[in-house]
Amino acid sequence: YRGRGIGSRLLTAAVEDAKTLQVNRIFTLTYQENFFARHGFRVTDKSSLPQKIWADCVKCVKFPDCDEIAMIRNGVELGAKKPDISSCT
Q: In the predicted model, what is the mean pLDDT of residues 55-59? A: 78
> Which alpha helices (DSSP H) does 1-89 contain, by range?
6-20, 33-38, 54-57, 75-78
| DSSP code, position 71 | E
Domains present along the chain, CATH in parentheses: 6-78 (3.40.630.30)
Q: Is 30 buried (19+), middle (13-18) or exposed (0-12) by CB count in 10 A?
A: middle
pLDDT of residue 37: 96
| CA atoms within 13 A of residue 70's CA, in its CB half-sphere | 12
CA quadruple 21, 25, 31, 35: dihedral sign: positive
Q: Is residue 35 over pLDDT 80?
A: yes
Q: Is residue 41 over pLDDT 60?
A: yes
Q: In the predicted model, what is the mean pLDDT of residues 67-87? A: 68
